[in-house]
């Protein structure tokens, strides 16, 4: 590609309102442009990288036995009402109406569409298991779109869904997906960890996140120094202490918190407080009570408190009502996970959580009045651990350290959550109708692009790993008006293209300094400079990652680069 013919609008200055390197560099090097908050155009270079990431994802998905399809981004609201998520997803779901006033959602994820699709087309166990995936634009009205491609409101996701006749089959596919994900992130050159998600509260055997290690990551993970044990500490009670936010949380002492009785009051309270919920989890305690754990950033009387935990035990009539109430109250102001699988949480576990999360800490501070009934039946003690840095790893191997991570992938055993709600059943060998068992598997394709840049850059620009570089080689004649240089550069350009390399040819009439600075910024692995020694057929090769320079003949060049 001749640079004069494409669009690579580089910027010398770091754009304002950009906090992280990937955002700054992708803008400066002309890969992306912002349309409006959280919404971006991919310019030609950005589009090329996206395509390469997509191809790696496709190859590994196909290897894992999944088949590609494409579903609509605009979806009838009825589907979301059927699953209940129209009410529980909250304002992150983009909603719109057509000219006839019919309601729609823009796909934030596709469980509803795929479940109804498979429900209508697959009736027998003979057609199972079935794994389908797509790579498609997703829409989420994130409360705080930020960090460029890392948290957008419109972004590219690979989402896969699997359907099974039994649990063993789901486990098998889940493991295949786990391997496929590990392959993908390894091929992308990323330094990552697969972590147990929601470790603190749920044991989390059924869901893993893939985290790219990075200082700017929004998640905190606890990992072992000696083994593969790693968990997202999202809900681990230790977070308050670990993140040293405790001092801030103490300010809450000044605040009178109401004794919450109903979930509606909880919602009102959080609304009034301007709570930005990071995570909320509801435990079904019994038919009468649920325990709501909320982690969020609060603003109370102009005091900002980050990462505060709150817990409330709330009286509810039935599980259905739990879902309904949560849907239109808490669910409408933040993400919520309803763990209805925990039949009964032991009262000791409740007590433990309440104390650890929001009750008395070492200094004896109470953040909130919580008075759980003690009528709770004892059944299951959730896998709660109080992990801190320096602890022995739960698997007994090595000690625990904390790190920040960017979530680039998430795999999840859904079970029958959607198939039951939407009537996706199949007939088993004995002709009995059963709900299909499901799994879902996401990768943030556009987020991955930014995550790679976070790990691959230096002070001069991006340093692409070979696997996803937009072009393999950057050919730069120092002076395009010099006939010998122009002719040799053109010849090299054609020869490298014939050797099936993807070449960017800087044929612009710019000063050498400008061309070199742009080349470093854009970050292709190899730069070939055609300069003074063009007459002799000698060029200079520069390797972007090491900065190493080498003068070689044109003949050698092709051999070296192939
Ligand atoms: P996060 O915790 O960062 O909000 P999520 O858990 O809501 O992500 P999932 O529903 O698990 O996201 O979606 C699958 C993948 O899509 C995520 O692992 C992530 O890589 C990507 N993703 C999610 N939200 C965004 C976003 N706003 N911008 C870019 N990528 C995203
Ligand atoms: Mg999210
Ligand atoms: Mg997440
Ligand atoms: Mg996730």
Instruction: Give the tens place of pLDDT for each residue, 94-132.
Output: 999 999 999 999 999 999 999 999 999 999 999 999 999
Structure confidence at residue 291 (pLDDT):
56
Structure ipTM: 0.99
Q: What is the whole-number distance in angstroms between the Cα of residue 232 and the centre of ligand 3?
A: 9
Q: How far apart are CA 530 and CA 343, in angstroms?
A: 71
Q: What is the whole-number distance in angstroms between the Cα of residue 139 and the centre of ligand 2?
A: 11
Structure confidence at residue 262 (pLDDT):
52
Closest residue CA from atom 21 of ligand 1: 444
- 208 Cβ closer than 6 Å to some ligand 1 atom: no
Helices assigned H by DSSP within 104-166:
111-121
Q: How far apart are CA 196 and CA 210, in angstroms?
A: 9
Q: What is the whole-number distance in angstroms between the Cα of residue 11 and the centre of ligand 4?
A: 34
pTM here is: 0.79
Give the C-alpha distances (Å, rounded to integers) separating 154 from 29, 57, 259, 450.
21, 19, 39, 14
Q: Is the separation of the CB atoms in 480 and 507 below 8 Å?
A: yes
Q: What is the whole-number distance in angstroms between the Cα of residue 209 and the centre of ligand 4?
A: 7
- 3-class DSSP state for residue 463? coil
Q: What is the pLDDT of residues 445-487, one digit of tens each?
A: 999 999 999 999 999 999 999 999 999 999 999 999 999 999 9
The ligand whose atoms approach the alpha carbon of 141 most closely is 1
Strands (DSSP E) along 445-522, which ranges? 457-458, 461-462, 473-477, 503-505
Radius of gyration of the chain (CA): 27
DSSP string, 508-539: ----HHHHHHHHHHHT-SEEEEE-GGGGGTEE
Q: Is the separation of the CB atoms in 490 and 483 below 8 Å?
A: no
Closest residue CA from atom 29 of ligand 1: 151
Mutate to test the pocket of ligand 1, among 94, 143, 157, 208 (most ligand atoms within 8 A of CB): 157
Residues in the chain: 562
Percent of the chain that is helix, strand, coil (3-state, to 5): 35, 30, 35
Q: What is the whole-number distance in angstroms between the Cα of residue 334 and the centre of ligand 4?
A: 15
- 444 Cβ closer than 6 Å to some ligand 1 atom: yes
Closest residue CA from atom 14 of ligand 1: 442
Q: What is the whole-number distance in angstroms between the Cα of residue 531 and the centre of ligand 4?
A: 50
Q: How far apart are CA 486 and CA 256, in angstroms?
A: 75
Residue 544 CA, chain-centre distance (Å), reads 28
Residues surrounding ion ligand 4 at CB below 5 Å:
410
Element (H, E) at 179: helix 167-187
Structure confidence at residue 84 (pLDDT):
86
Task: Show the tokens assigned to 445.
Answer: 């394709």
Task: Show the tokens assigned to 97.
Answer: 């109406």
Residue 87 CA, chain-centre distance (Å), reads 23
Q: What is the whole-number distance in angstroms between the Cα of residue 233 and the centre of ligand 2?
A: 16
Closest residue CA from atom 1 of ligand 1: 407
> Which is it for strands 219-224 and 425-427: parallel, antiparallel or unpaired?
unpaired
| Ligand 1 nearest atom to the CA of residue 409, by list position | 18
Q: What is the pLDDT of residues 202-259, one digit of tens each?
A: 334 588 999 999 999 998 888 889 998 888 875 433 222 223 333 333 333 333 333 3
- 3-class DSSP state for residue 469? coil
Helix 167-187, helix 44-63: angle, nearest 10: 140
Task: Show the tokens assigned to 332.
Answer: 């409408």
Structure confidence at residue 298 (pLDDT):
59
- 3-class DSSP state for residue 409? strand
Indicate the burial class of 503 (C-beta count within 10 angstroms; 0-12, 13-18, 19 or more).
buried
- 447 Cβ closer than 6 Å to some ligand 1 atom: yes
Indicate the burial class of 117 (C-beta count within 10 angstroms; 0-12, 13-18, 19 or more).
middle
Split the chain (562 residues) into runs of 10 and give each run's mean pLDDT. 97 94 98 97 98 98 98 97 85 95 97 98 98 98 94 98 97 98 98 77 66 94 88 49 32 34 54 56 54 58 56 53 40 30 32 36 30 30 48 77 95 92 96 97 98 98 98 97 96 95 97 97 98 96 96 93 84
Mutate to test the pocket of ligand 1, among 133, 410, 452 (most ligand atoms within 8 A of CB): 410
- 407 Cβ closer than 6 Å to some ligand 1 atom: yes
Q: Which residues contact 17 (CB under 8 A, 6 or more apart)?
A: none
Q: How far apart are CA 411 and CA 546, in angstroms?
A: 36
Q: What is the whole-number distance in angstroms between the Cα of residue 404 and the centre of ligand 3?
A: 13
């Amino acid at each position: 590609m001749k640079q004069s013919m494409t669009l690579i609008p580089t910027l010398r200055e770091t754009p304002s309102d950009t906090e992280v390197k990937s955002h700054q560099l992708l803008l400066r090097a002309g890969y992306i442009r912002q349309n409006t908050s959280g919404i971006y155009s991919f310019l030609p270079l950005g589009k090329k990288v996206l395509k390469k990431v997509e191809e790696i994802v496709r190859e590994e998905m196909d290897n894992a036995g999944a088949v590609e399809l494409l579903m609509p981004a605009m979806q009838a609201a009825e589907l979301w009402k059927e699953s209940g998520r129209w009410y529980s997803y909250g304002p992150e779901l983009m909603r719109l109406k057509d000219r006839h006033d019919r309601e729609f959602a823009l796909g934030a994820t596709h469980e509803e569409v795929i479940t109804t699709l498979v429900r209508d087309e697959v009736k027998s166990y003979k057609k199972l298991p079935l794994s389908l995936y797509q790579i498609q634009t997703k829409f989420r009205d994130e409360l705080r779109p930020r960090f460029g491609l890392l948290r957008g409101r419109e972004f590219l996701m690979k989402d896969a869904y699997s359907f099974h006749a039994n649990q063993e089959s789901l486990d098998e596919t889940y493991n295949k997906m786990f391997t496929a994900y590990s392959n993908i992130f390894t091929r992308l050159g990323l330094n990552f960890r697969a972590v147990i998600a929601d470790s603190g509260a749920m044991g989390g055997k059924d869901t893993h996140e893939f985290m790219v290690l990075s200082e700017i990551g929004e998640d905190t993970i606890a990992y072992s120094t000696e083994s593969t044990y790693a968990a997202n500490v999202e809900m681990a009670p230790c977070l308050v202490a670990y993140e040293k936010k405790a001092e801030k949380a103490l300010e809450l002492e000044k605040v009178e918190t109401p004794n919450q009785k109903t979930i509606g009051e909880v919602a009102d309270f959080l609304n009034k407080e301007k709570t930005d919920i990071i995570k909320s989890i509801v435990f079904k305690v019994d038919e009468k009570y649920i325990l709501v754990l909320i982690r969020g950033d609060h603003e109370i009387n102009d005091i900002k408190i980050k990462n505060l935990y709150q817990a409330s035990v709330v009286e509810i009539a039935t599980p259905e009502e739990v879902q309904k109430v949560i849907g239109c109250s808490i669910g409408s102001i933040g993400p919520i996970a309803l763990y209805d699988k925990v039949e009964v949480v032991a009262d000791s576990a409740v007590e433990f959580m309440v104390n650890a999360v929001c009750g008395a800490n070492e200094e004896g501070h109470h953040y909130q009045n919580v008075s759980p009934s003690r009528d709770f039946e004892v059944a299951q003690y959730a896998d709660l651990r109080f992990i801190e840095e320096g602890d022995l790893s739960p698997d007994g191997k090595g000690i625990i350290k904390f790190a920040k991570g960017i979530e680039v992938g998430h795999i999840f055993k859904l079970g029958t959550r959607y198939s039951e709600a939407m009537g996706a059943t199949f007939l088993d060998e004995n002709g009995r109708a059963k709900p299909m068992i499901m799994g879902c598997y996401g990768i943030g394709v556009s987020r991955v692009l930014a995550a790679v840049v976070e790990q691959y850059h230096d002070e001069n620009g991006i340093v692409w790993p070979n696997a996803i570089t937009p072009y393999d080689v950057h050919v730069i004649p120092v002076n395009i008006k010099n006939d010998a240089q122009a002719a040799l550069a053109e010849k090299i350009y054609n020869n490298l293209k014939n050797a099936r390399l993807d070449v960017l040819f800087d044929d612009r009439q710019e000063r050498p300094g400008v061309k070199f600075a742009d080349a470093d910024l854009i970050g292709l692995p190899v730069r070939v400079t055609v300069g003074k020694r063009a007459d002799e057929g000698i060029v200079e090769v520069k390797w972007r990652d090491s900065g190493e320079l080498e003068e070689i003949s044109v003949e050698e060049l092709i051999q070296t680069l192939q």
